Structure 1
Amino acid sequence: MTTGAGLFIGLMSGTSTDGVDGVLARIAPDSRPTVLAQASLPFPDDLRQTLLALNAPGHDELGRAALASLALAECYADTTRQLLAGASVAAADVTAIGAHGQTVRHRPDLGYTIQLNAPALLAERTGISVVADFRARDVAAGGQGAPLVPAFHAAIFAADAPRAVLNLGGIANVTLLAPGRPVTGFDTGPANMLLDEWCRRHTGQNYDHDGAYAAAGKVDANILEYLLASEPWLAKRPPKSTGRDLFNATWLDTRLNAWEGYCRRLTPQDIQATLQRFTARTVAQAIDREAPDTQEVLVCGGGARNSGLMRDLAECLNRPISTTDAHGVPALSMEALAFAWLAYAHVNRLPAGLPDVTGACGPRVLGALYPG
């Protein structure tokens, strides 16, 4: 396989489990990637429900997971075809696809992480080499296997003053960049995950568009402080990562049930507003604790389009915040672009697993290659 500059595709389906985001980008050393095409493909509802259900134990998990992996690869292949057509690029001209897969278990404390994927099928469907299984090598080296994006953030957003790059997917993760200091990064807690769960439960909508549902309610300070104080993981120092194994509907219901009589006086919109502020507070507390000299925060991911959440973040962070769009990278394409870059790093044998981020015993080249 050729190395150096080239065309790479990144495919990402995150903990929000709403679909696939993809980018086709030209990536070269010492320059910012150039995005040539973007595409998004929502999951069919049956696949989405299956993927969500596979986050918990159930009947015939192995068989259901295998079939879901194949269906996911078909979605990845469809997204890839859209990208190629949108840029008028031939598959033969693409060096590799970086495909993260769908995380259904993440237990680095027990030495494993599971992403559903079928990279061999994706290589067959597209004729393009696929890099996948990005987390496993870092976990094998004693790391968290997450977050995966800080090396990429450092490559394109390093500055002369301390700054943070905040990704608001299902889970929020932050990269801390400062001159003269190692790149660090970690998960801060839920971002859209609990917000989407509560909104879907009470409105039937998959997410709270622009925070409108939360805006119809009022933050309850008592429940907010209880949520912040009741979860020990939030006070844990990095390296750390999390996912649906911890922050899920059961986590939320257990805490709200402890306030059952009190919560009856609140509207569902009040809970939505409180969860939105909970996300903002957990992010702000994490940055204040680990990098109090941070001067600005760059925001990406789906949550960057939630103006209500962005307002809460601005208030809680008490620092200038902006989306990465203002810095040349579309906020909604950031994670997919990161996986294009991770494929580039794998092909060029660049260690993207950073021990100061994940706690691994050393830097590691991430991913496994499936030739096209």
Structure 2
Amino acid sequence: MKSSDTYEAIGLMSGTSGDGLDIAHCCFQQNDKWEFTIVEAETVAFPAALAKKLSQSHLLSGEQLSLLDVDFGAWMGKQVKAFCHKHQLRPAVVCSHGHTVFHQPSLGMTKQIGLGWSLREKAGFPVINDFRSLDVALGGQGAPLAPAGDHFLFPDYEGCLNLGGISNISMMHQGQRLAFDVSPFNLLLNEVAAKKGLPYDDQGNLAAAGKVNTAFLAQLNAIDFYTHQGAKSLGREEMEGIFLPLLKQQNDTEEDLLATLVAHYTEQIAKVVQQLFPPHKGKLLVSGGGAYNAFFIGQLQKRLGNHIEVVVPDRSIVEFKEALIFAFLGVLKLNNEVNTFASVTGASRDSCGGVHYP
């Protein structure tokens, strides 16, 4: 820490897409409002063996999962140490989201691996992780956690939409912050693109060349998740139990499948925005890998019309907003300030989540 109101922190994000670890060194300053700078940021790809273990972590035995917990924490710590050495950085704290293995808040259970002590020892800096468990213990969904960052760091936007493996949205509505997962996103798009030997549909060009299957679209829109109101979240369990089986039943071309998924996402996201945004003009900030899907962004803007401006910010925000926010959640934890909103998660009260490894 440079002073009582300036903080340097590293945020680590390992998202549901499973492509790598986002590392962002950020500087936060509190004056009349919170201000931030992303000083350095990069994504470190997972080694193939580690990526495979993480993708199959929910199938491991208890002993194997415990070992992966230790190993993943140590691997992240080594990446942080190398990152700090490369850029000559000394953060006050390293704040890790971890890799989600299980997330069943209805059972009071969530599990993100990447052991804090292993991370702390290999990195050489204090660590805060396990941001979700307290909220789940308080009866909340433990997700999404980004809204506290949206609220304090991006107050000029009426809403923030993140397009990662899953799409989630955060916005002010009638004086309180609301946020929830809206739909799958890259998890399904990438699944289809992989059938053509591609990691993803670059700029949505394949989807743009496809034709929407109205019957499949109707099936997607009829999924029970979309009828739920209030705090709600999607995880691996819903992907494997509902969405992927439905996707695999289709015999369409990859282009048509992608076009239908984009139509589905556009409909579900636009419906939420139009229901909850204020009636005057507003701005929707879009981040995450899906922000590069130009076809989807165009379809969403067309659906929303001139009422709402869809804003894709500069690359550092698009790619590292979640890592930035986890760094910020850690700063709030250090100050013992609220970093999880009950209005978002459905918990019995606001809380200050995270476990500190000093």
In structure 2, give the amino acid aligned to 1:254.
P
1:87: how far off? 3.1
2:160 to 165, 180, 201: 165
Rounded to whole Å, the distance in 2 between the matches of 1:268 and 1:144 is 34
Partner of 2:214: 221
Partner of 1:280: 266
In structure 2, give the amino acid aligned to 1:69.
D
1:19: how far off? 0.5
Alpha carbons 1:218, 1:270 under 8 Å: kept: yes
Partner of 2:329: 342
1:256: how far off? 4.2
CA-to-aligned-CA distance 1:217-245 (integer Å, 9 cap, x gap):
2222221122111x111111111111111
TM-score (norm 2): 0.92
Give secondary structure in 2 for the equivalent of 1:33. Answer: strand
Alpha carbons 1:47, 1:71 under 8 Å: kept: no
1:49 to 46, 49, 52: 52
Moved more, 79-88 or 236-245: 79-88
In structure 1, give the amino acid aligned to 2:71.
A
1:122: how far off? 0.7
1:136 to 113, 133, 136: 133
Alpha carbons 1:39, 1:79 under 8 Å: kept: no
1:357: how far off? 0.6
Give secondary structure in 2 for the equivalent of 1:241. Answer: coil
Partner of 1:366: 353
Q: CA RMSD in A?
A: 2.1
Identity across matched positions, percent? 32
1:7: how far off? 0.9
Distance 1:170 1:38, change over 3 A: same
Asked if 1:246 corresponds to 2:238, the answer is yes
Moved more, 6-15 or 65-74: 65-74
1:235 to 213, 227, 230: 227
Partner of 1:31: 34
Rounded to whole Å, the distance in 1 between the matches of 2:141 and 2:16 is 17
Give secondary structure in 2 for the equivalent of 1:245. Answer: helix
Aligned residues: 352
Partner of 2:284: 297
1:72: how far off? 2.3
Give secondary structure in 1 for the equivalent of 2:212. Answer: coil
TM-score (norm 1): 0.88
Rounded to whole Å, the distance in 2 between the matches of 1:3 and 1:108 is 36
Give secondary structure in 2 for the equivalent of 1:134. Answer: coil
Alpha carbons 1:41, 1:75 under 8 Å: kept: no
Q: Which runs of 5+ in 1 are unaligned?
A: none
Asked if 1:116 corresponds to 2:109, the answer is no
Moved more, 143-152 or 290-299: 290-299
**Structure-to-structure mapping, 1:49-88, within 5 angstroms:** 49-55=52-58, 58=59, 60-88=60-88
Distance 1:313 1:45, change over 3 A: farther
Alpha carbons 2:77, 2:121 under 8 Å: kept: no
Q: Which runs of 5+ in 2 are unaligned?
A: none
CA-to-aligned-CA distance 1:96-122 (integer Å, 9 cap, x gap):
111010111111111111111111101
1:253: how far off? 4.5
Rounded to whole Å, the distance in 1 between the matches of 2:46 and 2:350 is 34
